[in-house]
Structures are given as structure tokens and as C-alpha cells.
Amino acid sequence: MKIGDMVVRAYAWDGFVPGIIVDERSITYPGDESSDEEWTDHQWVVQWSDGIQSLEMSEELDIFEQVVELYET
């Protein structure tokens, strides 16, 4: 996925609401007392066609064109 992609939610939602990825955010967290490894949380900023803007993980999104193709077959 990348900025500019048209997406839909991959999870149950009230209606089929397309959106466009308008930005991406990555936050790196330091390790804690149980592990010294740091980890990065990557999220997409999506502007939905119903006016809402939200942060979504890649796992929460499907590419719009791929979903439409599934319903056309």
C-alpha cells in the first residue's frame, strides 16, 4: 500500500465506505524491561468518503479494486 491508494475497511463496518490513503505514520518504540528490542508501529492515515479520517494498520485495509473484483466474479 502507498499514499494515494483507494481502500476499504477489511473488518466489519456499517456500509461499504471507500477511502484514500493520504499519509503514513511510523512510530518507533524503545525496548522495555522485558526486551531491549525496539519495534515500529506503522499506520496509514485514511480519508474516508463519509468525511471521517482515521489511522489504520495495513491489516485493517483492503485495496478497493481487489474487493470490487471479488464481487464482480
- Each residue's pLDDT expressed in tens, for the chain with a length of 73 residues: 999 999 999 987 777 899 999 999 998 988 887 877 888 889 999 999 999 999 999 999 999 999 888 878 6
Beta strands in the chain (DSSP E): 6-9, 19-29, 39-48, 53-56, 61-63
Is-above-0.85 flag for pTM?
no
Give the chain's domain count: 1
Handedness of CA 51, 53, 9, 68 (dihedral sign): positive
- The CATH number of residue 12's host domain is 2.30.30
Q: Is 34 inside any structural domain?
A: no
Range of the domain at 44: 6-28+39-72
Distance CA 23, CA 2 (A): 8
SS3 52: coil
The answer to whether the beta carbons of residues 46 and 61 sit under 8 Å apart is yes
